[in-house]
Structures are given as C-alpha cells and as structure tokens.
A and B are shown apart, each in its own frame.
Chain A
Amino acid sequence: MLKRARRLWAWLLAPAVLMTSYQAMAEEVERWKFNMVEGVTPVSREIYGLHMQMFWWCVAISVVVFGIMLYSMIMHRKSRGVKAANFHESTALEIVWTAIPLAILIAMAFPATKSLINLYDASEAEIDVVITGYQWRWRYDYLDEDLSFFSNMSTPRDQIEGFEPFGPHYLLEVDEPLVIPVDTKVRFLITAADVIHSWWVPAFGVKKDAIPGFINESWAIVEEPGIYRGQCAELCGRDHAFMPIVVEALPKEEYQAWLQEKRAEQEAVRQLTEQTFEFEELYDRGRQVHTQWCAACHRPDGTGVSGIFPALIGGMAVGPVEDHLNIVVNGSRGTAMQAFGDQLSEVDIAAVVTYQRNAWGNNMGDSVQPIDVFNFKQND
C-alpha cells in the first residue's frame, strides 16, 4: 500500500522527472497505457483507425463548444457590468447546428460501414477453431485436426491473495494457450457451455460473445508471431476475472510441429487410462487437479462457500463412490456444478475423486482407478 502511495507521488512529480531523461519518459509512457492497441491484424488496425478518427472529431467538437462556453463565461459575466442581450430564437442557427453534426455523422458512417462489412466476412478460412466458454475456462477444439484441450488460468492463488509477489503476466497467463499460425485466416467459432462469456483478444480486434445454444463466428489473420493476451469480457459469475485468453501465433512450420507434438501428448494421456496407479500417485495428481479445477468454488481446503458452493468435507465425499463419480462426471443440473466428464481425462477424474475422498480428514482409504471411471462412463 505504501509503495503504491509512493508511486502516486512519483506520478504527481512526473513532469519534472520526465524532463530529466528521455529514457525515463519512454518507461513512463510504457507504463501508463492509455489508448487502444493498434494490434496485429488488418481488422484491428482498421478499428484503431476508426477509433482515432472518431476521437479527433470529438476533440474538434469539444474545442468549438467548450471554447464558446469559456469565452461566454469570461466575457459575459455580470460582475463585468455587461447587460444581458434578449435574443432567444433563430431558425437559421437551429438548421445550421442540425446540419453540421449530421454531415459529420454521414462522413463517419461510410468508413464504419466498410469496416463492418469486411469484419463480418469470415469466409474462406483455412483453419477453424471452436471456442467454448465454461465457468471459468476456455476449451479450444481444432476442427479437422482431432485436437482439443482446455485452457485454465495458471496464476497461483498465492499471488492473488497477496502471499507471493505478482508475476509479469499476473492473471493473464494460462496453462495451455491457443496456438495458431501467422499469415493464415483462422476462423473462430464461439459458443458456451453454461452462461454467456465473451472471447476478447484486443490485439486481434476480436470480441465476440460466447452464448449457449449459439455459434458466433469471427476471424483473424495474425501478421506477427508472438503471444497475445486477452480476457473474458462478459460477466459470467464468481471467477469472471480469472479466465484469461492467451494466443500464441507461430510461424507456419513451427505450428505444424506443435500440432504433431500436441497430438502425441494427447495420445499418451489416453493410454494412461489403461494403467493402474498407486494410491500416492493418484493422491498427488488429485491435489493438483483439485487446485486447478475445483478450488475456485470448493476452496483449496474443501470448505466451499456457505450457501452457494457445498463443502467437500464429509457429505458426498464420504458416501458411495458411484455418487461421487456421478456428480463429477455429470454435474448437478440447476447449480453451478458442471459436468466434468468431457472436460477432464479419466486419469484426472480418478485422481481428484481419490484425493477428495482422502483429504481434509475424509480418510475413506479407497481409491479410484482410471479404468473405473472409463467403465462408469460406459455404463452411464
């Protein structure tokens, strides 16, 4: 708090400091982000152009209107001994100040219409990615590539709660970024599984609502390789602030290599289903799964949030295994508890159920194997 207060002072003294060194000024400008990013796609640059054009029109209008007001306030005050005029009507003036704004608006409508038509043309895309919003994570499905994964925020809870210093990408980092190639038209097909979310990457000029039951489309041709960050833009419940978007744009060959590697990785996870695990292995893996997937609602220590998110100490976690599996796999309709059957691998479901049945004094002593989860899903 103190440090921040000092920064505030530094800002107040900034003009003097800025004079002294160009370097310092560059850093200050970097820190005080105050305008829209120009971005790295043709669309985002077009939007930026419209934004600036509109901004300068607003400045011009302000200068004229506020200028006349200020002039009046200085010159036409009673304390200067002026006598008030008595005019109160002029049809000519009314027509003039109806016509001029109308002309400005028409002048702006043309480029805006042109941009919008361009922006809405998602045809002839080379890659299609289905983006699904969940409370509170994103799923990316590469159509035609048999590849799909979830993207979770990876900022540790300790940073959020102030036990650790912030990392450089605090709240804007994920475990698995969306990866796309540069110079390629990528179409995003955007939907949601529970409530409405909104997929927004400022550098692409793409913001589209993810709505259950609808598939919206948007697109981007990214021109520079790099990592681009965004956030969910539509209030979607408790952890709305904690479902960032990270997109990595790779050169085309590297993208192909990434695809190969990613597919092999997913195949390896599928094979884990057939293995049998020791209790400790499941318990440790389960703790990680719990932290990443369950702790946002049920808290890291399983105590939940009174009245909304049930505690996992006792209750279901010490009942029959089938009931526990059922609620994790199929969710609980009408509540915030989602169906995790398609979101988590068999191994992870087995691990987290094992963990929850044995952590925080639950001590059931039993464990669930991936194959049990597989069979449960088959019979379900």
Chain B
Amino acid sequence: MAHGPAKGLSRWLFTTNHKDIGSMYLWFSFAMFIIGGIFALVIRAELFEPGMQIVDPNFFNQMTTLHGLIMVFGAIMPAFVGLANWMLPMMIGAPDMALPRMNNWSFWILPFAFFMLLSTLFMPGGAPNFGWTFYAPLSTTYAPESVTFFIFAVHIMGASSIMGAINIVATILNMRAPGMTLMKMPLFVWTWLITAYLLIAVMPVLAGLVTMMLMDIHFGTSFFDAAGGGDPVLFQHIFWFFGHPEVYIMILPAFGIISAIIPTFARKPLFGYSSMVYASASIAFLSFIVWAHHMFTVGMPIAGELFFMYATMLIAVPTGVKVFNWVATMFRGAMTFETPMLFSIAFVILFTIGGLSGLMLAIAPADFQYHDTYFVVAHFHYVLVPGALFSIIAAVYYWLPKWTGRMYNEILGKTHFWVAFVGLNVTFFPMHFAGLAGMPRRIPDYHMMFADWNMISSVGAFIFGASQILFLYIVLDTIFRGKKATDRVWENSEGLEWTVASPAPYHTFSTPPEIK
C-alpha cells in the first residue's frame, strides 16, 4: 500500500488519481474564474457612467461573450467536476473513479480548449462578439473569422464534459461500497448522478449545433440562413434545448453541497431526504420541456407560449420543496455559523430571490417587458453567483481541511464571506431596477436615467472581485500555514469522507467500508 504519487511534473500530467485530478480541476476553474472576472470588470468599468470611455463597442461585445463562456464552461462546470472527483469516491466508499485514464484525459483537454478560445482575442477581427448564446446569423454570416476556433473549443469542452459525466455515472452505479443502496447515498452523489445524465443528454446537442454553424460558415449549407431556406429560430430552439438543462447542470450539484453543509452546522439530519431526491429528479425532467421560455418574443404560436409558460411555472414546485426542506432542517437545530454555513445560508436566501424573479419571468406577457433587459441579467446572476458559485466556495471551505489536513483561518473566511456578500448584492440587486426601468442587456452605453444604478453596480463589482483575491490568499494560507485539522473536522459532520484521515491519504477505501 506504500504506493504514493509520482514526483515532479509527471505526477500531474499522467495521474489517474481522483484526488490529483480533482485538485487540477479546481485550480483550473479558479484560474478561469479570475480571467472571466477580469472580463466582467472591463464590462463594469465601461458601464460605470454613460458615454464610451474605455473600450470600443465591438470589444465590449467580445467581453460579454467571453465572460459568459468562460464563467459557464470554464469556471462553474469544471469546479463541480473537480468537487465530484474529490468527493464522490470518498462519499460512496470507492477507491477511485471507475475510468481513471479517461478521467485524466477529460481534464487535460480542457486547458487546450480554453487556450484556443482565449487566443481568439489576438486574432484579426477579434474574439467572438455575438454573446454567449451565439444566436445565428450574427454568429455565422456576420461573425468574425475566429468563430471557427470558438466552434472547435466548444467541441473540446463538450467532449470533456461527456467523458466526465460517463465516468461519474459509471462510478456511482458500479463502485458503491456494499450496503450503500441508492437511497442511502449522500445528496451530493444523487444530484451529481442526475446532473451527469443531463450532461450526456444535452452536450451532444450543443456539439451538433456548433457543427451546423461550421457547415453554414464553411461548407455552404443554410441551416440558419433565411436567404438559403434556413431558419434562424431553429438555432434558438436547439440552443435552448441544450441551454436550459445546462442551467440545471450548474445548480443541481449545488443543491447537493448545501444539503451536506446545512445539517452539519444545524446539528440535525437533513429534513425530507427522499423528497429532496424526487424533487431533483423532477427538476431534471422539467428542464427538458421548458426551453422555449427563453424565446417568448420570437413569435411562437400561442399554444407554444402557453405550454412553455405553464411548464416553467411548474418548476417552482420542486424548487420550493427544496428550499422548504432546507429551512425545516435549520428549524429547531442548534446552529453555529462557520464560513461554509454562512455561504450556505446566503445561498438559500439569495437563490430563492433568483428563483422568485424567475417565476416573474415565467409569466409570458410580463416577459415581453423583462426579456433581454437587465432584469434578466439580475435574475440569472442571482442564481449563478450566490447560487452555483457560493455553493462551490462553501464546499471548498467545508472540505478544504479534509483535503489539506489543515484548518483555514475562520476570521479571514468570515471576512471573505461578508465582503463577497455585500459586493454581490450591491452589484446585482440594482440590476433589477435598471432592467425594469428599461435598460436592455449587452449594451456598452446607455441613457442617463440608468446612470445611478449602473454606477452602484460597478462599485459593487469591484468589491466582489477584490474579495476573491482574499479567497486565494486564504486557501494558500491554509495549505502552507493552517493549523492541523482533526479527522472529523466538524462537530456534527456525517458521511464516509469524515472517517478517513485528514489530509485524506493518496488512496482511500482500498478495502470497501462497512455500511450499516
């Protein structure tokens, strides 16, 4: 058993160890988060006041496009895959992932995809400038030449996601310790199992979509060109058939994380475990039949509008069940408020706010006023930033002592939380008002009536950005200088990962544990 990691660079290049690969995913996603964040700050700097001051409108469009793509595909998704790599085998009592070589490969193609995507910034004509939703024909006939590199990058990201998802399904279904029945799995395992199926279902759709674009651009087809008999609306249907499940791909694992953290710090078991499982599965099912609510203004027939409106409103039910279960878990617990708990409580409150604005957006007639305004920007940032991102940060604080064997500095952790919490609300809450007042999204310049809200948002964005530098410092400080952590780390933590030593040995559960 004295088989440890290889030395030097080859450890990272050739590793098949789920912990090494998990760490690489997490560091990679943090790097992308910083790059995507810098792009966001360019956007906020230009929008600080009316008039064009810093960038050209075309470069502004490149920033909005790359910010979205990098954050979705480079920061949030790889971070969740990294957490899955680290935690899933330890949570189900498995020695490693089911397909370790594929695991290595699915990580190592990612840096190339993003290197290629970022290199478009330096190409003649500039980077993709058509928004992260890349609607045709703006992204085909009217796109800069670098669009071809964008398409190839998306193909590689998709391949990486599909391989990662297959690996996760294979691991969960085949490698659980004896006695770990499906309904005994921690919720993080459940939500990742469901997420992996979503990924396998929709990433090929995205790949097909960008391939059709490639054909339109280079091989003379007219899938999306009306002049050649094609259909620009078809593009949107295919995109959102991928895009809506993608939204849940970015939030379901977060549900799993929050369901692990709140019971620990409330010192009380999770309320309604089985209803949480069924709610996650319902959300996943519904995610496939609501896509056209992103397209209420394209001029669908009324029957289509009504169907997608009702189906969308229905999502509020299982999502509500989840929120109520978390609140019931906290109720009559004995709570303490360490950093992971603070991030988790903020998650529940702010994600609920994002969910409620989502409910408003579901009302099709009202959506005619909300659509493509800053109200939508506020909505999806409320579900993605204090939603997906906060859950990832909470997970890092929660499991970091297990990974490194050292405790983070609690005072700094809480400082990080409060600065990030204030920063993000100052950034995104005013966007609701700017949107309702009539400010469209994706514009580099605006009328003075939106000036005050935009200035506040910009100030908040820089506060939020600064807080993430503190996060990096805290993690490095923990790794190099943190106090020794115990094996169980938290007073009331439950689950197999807390039964192994801190830091978790290079190989865990080589002999399967006993599940009672």
Contacts and interface: CB of A to CB of B under 8 A. Distances in A.
Contacts of B131: 235
B226 A88 contact: no
Contacts of A11: 452
A206 interface: yes
Contact of B365 (A58, A69, A116): A116
A90 B328 CA distance: 10
A248 to B, nearest CB: 18
Contacts of A34: 433, 436-437, 453
Interface in B295-348: 297-299, 302, 305-306, 309-310, 313-314, 316-317, 320-321, 323-324, 327-337, 345, 348
Given A8-B455, A87-B271, A170-B50, A211 B364 contact: no
B321 A94 contact: yes
Interface string A199-217: 0101001111101111011
Interface residues of A, number: 105
Interface stretch (A17-25, A98-106, A279-287, A361-369): A98-106
A68 B327 contact: yes
A237 B269 contact: no
Contacts of A143: none
B349 interface: yes
B56 interface: yes
A1 interface: yes
Nearest to B309: A112
Contacts of A55: 360
A166 B364 CA distance: 36
A113 B272 contact: no
Given A98-B317, A213-B231, A234-B372, A116 B57 contact: no
B433 A207 contact: no
Interface stretch (A46-54, A178-186, A267-275, A317-325): A46-54
A1 to B, nearest CB: 7
A98 B449 CA distance: 42
A97 B142 contact: no
A149 B226 CA distance: 24
B451 interface: yes
B366 A51 contact: yes
A28 B230 CA distance: 50
Contacts of A76: 266, 330-335
Contacts of A87: 271, 332
Contact of B332 (A85, A119, A214, A235): A85
Interface residues of B, number: 104
B336 A79 contact: yes
Nearest to B373: A233
Interface stretch (B165-173, B351-359, B394-402): B351-359
A241 B330 contact: no
Interface in A344-364: none
Interface in A1-44: 1, 4, 7-8, 11, 31-37, 44
Interface of A is mostly: mixed
B333 A84 contact: yes
A206 B330 CA distance: 45
Contacts of B124: 306-307
B483 to A, nearest CB: 21
Interface in B180-198: none
Interface in B237-292: 266-273, 275
A236 interface: yes
Contacts of A105: 313-314, 316-317
Given A8-B456, A94-B272, A162-B53, A36 B360 contact: no
A235 B313 contact: no
Contact of A308 (B144, B365, B452): B144
Contact of B437 (A33, A82, A85, A170): A33
Given A4-B451, A50-B363, A214 B233 contact: yes
B30 interface: no
B447 A236 contact: no
B93 interface: no
A112 B364 CA distance: 7
A108 B321 contact: no
Contacts of A198: 297, 371-372
Interface in B445-482: 445-453, 455-456, 459
Contact of A159 (B51, B314, B372): B51
Interface of A: 1, 4, 7-8, 11, 31-37, 44, 46-47, 50-51, 54-55, 57-58, 61-62, 65-66, 68-69, 72-73, 76-79, 82-90, 93-94, 97-98, 101-102, 105, 108-109, 112-113, 115-117, 119-120, 135, 159-162, 166, 169-172, 194-196, 198, 200, 202, 205-209, 211-214, 216-217, 230-242, 305-308, 334-336
Given A87-B271, A213-B226, A233-B373, 20 more contacts: A8-B452, A8-B459, A34-B453, A35-B433, A66-B352, A73-B330, A76-B330, A78-B336, A88-B270, A98-B317, A159-B51, A161-B52, A162-B52, A195-B137, A212-B227, A233-B297, A237-B130, A306-B124, A308-B144, A334-B141
> Top 5 nearest A-B pairs by Cβ distance?
A213-B226, A241-B443, A216-B299, A307-B124, A33-B437
12 contacts: A8-B452, A33-B438, A34-B453, A51-B366, A76-B266, A76-B332, A112-B309, A207-B297, A209-B299, A216-B298, A232-B440, A235-B131
